[in-house]
Amino acid sequence: MSTLSSPPSPVPAEADVKPTRHLNVIPATDEIVSSLSSDGHRRFVYPADVKGRFTWLRRVGFAVLIALWIALPLIPINGHPALFLDVVHRRFYIFGQTFNAQDVWLMFFVLTGIGFGLAFLTSLLGRVWCGYACPQTVFLESLFRPIERLVEGNRDQRIRRDKGPWNLDKTWRKLVKHALFLAAAFAVSHIMLSFFVSMPAMLQMVRRSPSEHPEAFAWATAVTLILYGNFAWFREQLCLIVCPYGRLQSVLFDEDSLIIGYDKKRGEPRGKASEKDKGDCVDCKRCIAVCPTGIDIRNGLQLDCVACAACVDACDEIMDKLKRPRGLVRYDSQRGLSGETRRLWRPRMGIYAVLGAAGITAASIAVTSRSGFEATMLREKGAPYVVEGETVRNSFTLHLVNKEGASENLRIEPEPSEGLSYVVSEPEVTIESLADTRVRIVVVGEKGKYGGDKPFQIQVTRSDGEKKTVKSRFVGPGG
């Protein structure tokens, strides 16, 4: 069971954080502040507001990503939304390309490319994905936390109110905050669902009674509640406990990966700003107060750090006020922080780059050289041939699949083969987008001339000239 509690006492309230000689009123401690107490109970983190260049950069990035995310189901490319994953009908429209269930094998190359690409990026730039582009970070920092700050105030006010008794002020603020959280979760979940049912269909469903679309309603409700629970309560625990990428950091990082770190040589020993013979860290704990996962970056690189750079901005602000150089907490590598020169290129980077590029290249080639239709010939069930008087008949079914986003005309032409004649039930067919059809083909040979299995082939031609040749064998008695 979780307990709602403020961070331990070493973390100062915002009002206490001033770069003056009174900074050290709170005793220094080596305790690692985290979102879990030593007995495993949850400590709710109350990150303080922060301003600075990285906070600004992140906000711009979040705005661009959210705009892009909203645009994806709205902007049409080749007549379909830029991203529409029609799982029910197994049709997938991705940036103008149309895929069906038979194209799932392509995902292997795409995921391989993305996986190694991410490994490359992490090895080079650390957890830049977590801090700047992960949906958990983007929605939490750009939507849910601003709502919380708007309704419940800054860190000090939130802590005070949560510790205090339930009065009218606390009650209405909690009610309004959670109502807004639910509304935000509702909006996010419905935009997410529009990727699967299309935006017009989703808007229609919202206007109609849930009884007309119970499955979609159940999905929308479940996703809304999950998002609400995640962003209202679970928050950083998703990064710390659930996210597998976060757990991989110790494998992907090396001493030259870009991390956010504290310059111990410069900062230690900590002391008051007025004290001589002390390092630059005035132990104001502002870097801890702004941390969304509640850690103290001065304890070194930790798995819980999501590289949001809030502590960099916070410490820079303190250094500016103290008229000391910025960068006591900064982006650097472990090697750089220990005073050595950072190596940008390492053997592991080459391996990740080659494997990532191989995956993406293979996926690109596979997508661009993908045929727009499929043709497969199957012998009909039952006896492989039928003898009727002086003729032998073989019956086949030609299965045709149109994999394009628009309907297509296909022409079916058997290639002449000595002694064989053909009956094609439909020499020309029109197939709707991502639909299929079956054409019956009967191959007839003279019994007296049959001298063993005979290969034959059928040519299928699309209106743009793309051809496919389907091969099979004519069989008969004895031979």
Binding site for ligand SF4 (CB under 6 A): 260, 262, 267, 281-287, 290-293, 295, 297-298, 305-311, 314-315, 318, 328-329
Closest to ligand SF4 by CB, 51 or 208: 51
Closest to ligand SF4 by CB, 97 or 136: 136
Smallest distance from ligand SF4 to CB 312, Å: 7
Give phi and psi for 353, each to the nearest 5: -65, -45
Closest to ligand SF4 by CB, 48 or 82: 48
Smallest distance from ligand SF4 to CB 310, Å: 4
Sign of the torsion angle spanned by Cα atoms 475, 477, 478, 479 = negative
Contacts of 92 (CB under 8 A, 6+ apart): 84, 85, 86, 98, 99, 100, 103
Amino acid at residue number 419:
G
Smallest distance from ligand SF4 to CB 49, Å: 13
Smallest distance from ligand SF4 to CB 226, Å: 24
Question: CA-CA distance, 456 to 414, in Å (whole number)?
Answer: 8
Smallest distance from ligand SF4 to CB 373, Å: 51
Contacts of 439 (CB under 8 A, 6+ apart): 397, 398, 400, 412, 424, 425, 426, 429
Query: Could you count the other beta carbons within 10 Å of the beta carbon of residue 86?
Result: 18
Q: Which residues pair with 59 in a beta bridge?
A: none
Closest to ligand SF4 by CB, 173 or 324: 324
Q: Which residues pair with 72 in a beta bridge?
A: none
Question: CA-CA distance, 358 to 182, in Å (whole number)?
Answer: 43
Closest to ligand SF4 by CB, 51 or 440: 51
Contacts of 457 (CB under 8 A, 6+ apart): 414, 415, 417, 469, 470, 471, 472
Smallest distance from ligand SF4 to CB 293, Å: 5
Inter-axis angle of helices 168-197 and 155-163, nearest 10:
110
Closest to ligand SF4 by CB, 33 or 185: 33
Closest to ligand SF4 by CB, 82 or 282: 282
Smallest distance from ligand SF4 to CB 370, Å: 42
- Residue 330: helix, strand or coil by DSSP? strand
Closest to ligand SF4 by CB, 55 or 402: 55
Residues in the chain: 479
Question: CA-CA distance, 9 to 28, in Å (whole number)?
Answer: 11
Question: CA-CA distance, 186 to 190, in Å (whole number)?
Answer: 6
Question: CA-CA distance, 323 to 326, in Å (whole number)?
Answer: 9
Closest to ligand SF4 by CB, 285 or 403: 285
